[in-house]
C-alpha cells in the first residue's frame, strides 16, 4: 500500500513502474514488462494520454 500526501492511502490495482523518457514524458508501465524496445511497444501509457491528465 502506498501512502500519498497526509495519511491518504491508496492500494494500486496492480504493481506499476513509473518511467521518465529522455524527452521528459512520464510513462506508466506494468511492473513486470520489459521496456527495452520502447515504452509504447511494452504497452505502457504516457501521462499525456491518460484520462486524468486531459
Going from N- to C-terminal start, the domains of the chain cover: 14-54
Q: CA separation (Å) from 45 to 16, 20, 23?
A: 11, 12, 15
Average pLDDT over residues 6-32: 82
Average pLDDT over residues 18-46: 92
Secondary structure of the chain in the HEC alphabet? CEEECCCEEECCCCCEEEEECCCCCEEEEECCCCCCCCCCCCCCEEHHHCCCCC
Tell whether the model's pLDDT for residue 32 goes beyond 80. Answer: yes
16 close to 31: Cβ distance less than 8 angstroms: yes
More confident residue, 17 or 2: 17
Tell whether the model's pLDDT for residue 2 goes beyond 80. Answer: no
Tell whether the model's pLDDT for residue 8 goes beyond 60. Answer: no
Distance CA 46, CA 18 (A): 10
Amino acid at each position: 500500500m502506498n501512502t500519498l500526501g497526509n495519511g491518504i492511502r491508496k492500494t494500486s490495482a496492480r504493481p506499476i513502474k513509473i518511467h521518465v523518457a529522455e524527452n521528459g514524458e512520464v510513462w506508466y508501465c506494468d511492473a513486470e514488462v520489459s521496456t527495452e524496445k520502447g515504452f509504447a511497444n511494452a504497452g505502457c501509457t504516457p501521462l499525456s494520454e491518460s484520462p486524468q491528465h486531459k
